[in-house]
Structure 1
Amino acid sequence: MTSFRKALVIGATGLIGQALIKQLNESGAYQEIHLFVRKPLEISYPHVNSHIVDFDSLEKSNYPHVDDVFCCLGTTMKKAKSKDAFKKVDYYYPLMIARGALAKGAKQFLVVSAIGANVNSTFFYSRVKGELERDLIELGYPHIHIFRPSLLLGERKELRIGEKLGEYGVKLLGPLLRGRWSNYQAIEGEAVAAAMVQAALTEDEEKVKVYESCQMNKWWNNVN
């Protein structure tokens, strides 16, 4: 990949998004980092430009010319309060942004999906993630990178009681999650962000690549 690249980040205020912005800056490879946000952010990093957008009118947004799009957008059923609202955030927003950025020349789309994503899943959450993966691939990007983390670890701005309880449980079971169960090991948000940056800057001829928690954890452990 060429140096001095340009990136667009969606979901910059989340656990992975915050880590991603920091790591993109520290990589030295990006001369411009654009953010699509709902309201102004206090960002102290250089090379970062925030764009206030209406996520319900993404087709009218002014998309910057970028090389790589990083999508860390996602919500929970509890926060969304309905299946339609959940699908709007986790499916329609990422897909609309992918279309808009592709039309402006983006070459790579890197998206945080979830373990178990499958269009045929009986679970609504997993099925929506699978539908997003499928439809992103069909857009025709030269490169699509799909990251499927298990339970995310890290300090969030919002308290998610269910995830906190799950975090304690997974930490206790962690040593037992080996072999085919290794992808269910919890993973730090920073580790996912690091894997996204590494994938974006690695030359690869494959059009579609999927990264599971086990692989991302190995990368993270090798650099820490």
Structure 2
Amino acid sequence: NAEFPRDEVEKTKKTVLIEKIGKAFYISREAMLAARATNYPLDTRAARSAARKVVEKEEETVWGVVSAGAGQSFTANPLWDAANAEVQGDVVDIRGMLRDYNYSFTHLIVDVDSYAELIKTDSYGNRPIDQLPNGIQVVETAWIPSAVKGGFALDASAVGIIIAEDLQTEGEYRLVNQAYHNQVFERFASAVFAANAIVKLTLHS
């Protein structure tokens, strides 16, 4: 009838700031009336472009927060390129850094330059990305802060984003220019709750 010992559950509280980001666009009164009269779909290029700008700003904001909150850092030696990257050894070291705090290496988030080097082939046809163990997901993004010369290794279970109000539109008719003023927006918050689940990586100069 012995019982397993129960570890005390640690709880932490953190206040995060809800941000609203948006991009405005106009639809002319004539375009709206024409779409209604002909039952022809409205041209949504302006709306799609605005939505893309909002998503890009969200991603830039999130990775800025991750960069500021990362609890560990690692510099590859040699730096990663197709000719001499020692990806396997670096992954072992990074994985050990995360495991020291009971986290796993699940995702490798890299900037455009690092990803380009990962997929280049050397004179033997080998690619550095093929040295990564199975199970590590590689994500390329153009929105990692420029001061971070590489990206992040992290445990995805310890990282998240809070969506307070998902991507949507709001608008009104403005008589001054006889157009419908719209904006695509969202409200969200990003924060780092487990700093040591994130390793900031320097992979290139």
Same fold (TM over 0.5): no
TM-score when normalising by structure 2? 0.30
TM-score when normalising by structure 1? 0.28
Higher fraction of helix: 1
- Larger of the two Rg values belongs to structure: 2
Higher fraction of strand: 2
Q: Flag the structure with more relative contact order, 1 or 2, with Cα contacts below 8 A and sequence separation at least 6.
A: 2
